[in-house]
Structure 1
């Protein structure tokens, strides 16, 4: 009998994905502004990394935190 624990192959997280409206509320801008950023694309740096799930744009909270760190004024 193998007593070694198995490691999961997928990334598990307790955090929920954020919608455009949730991201807008978190950072204090309008959903319209976030939608404009999304249409310009993540390569512009205007918006955090995003996912498209069933046609809906979603954001990982960890990706949003990293993105916010890049906006810090030195």
Structure 2
């Protein structure tokens, strides 16, 4: 069985973990998806795509580095 590693920091993850991220980056990803869901609930932004949301986040100069790493990887994947 091969070791799974976080796609961002390369830290090893438990074998049972089927995600892409370690605990820290998973928490950041979860907060990002929660923010996306909140944005989609507003009537003016209900049609925003995940990729568009990520692009807007990535262009924000105040984006924290670790969250920026998650956004960048998700943009590459989507």
Q: What's the TM-score, normalizing by structure 1?
A: 0.27
* Structure with the largest fraction of helix: 2
Relative contact order higher in (CA < 8 Å, ≥ 6 apart): 1
Task: State which structure, 1 or 2, has the greater radius of gyration over its C-alpha atoms.
Answer: 1
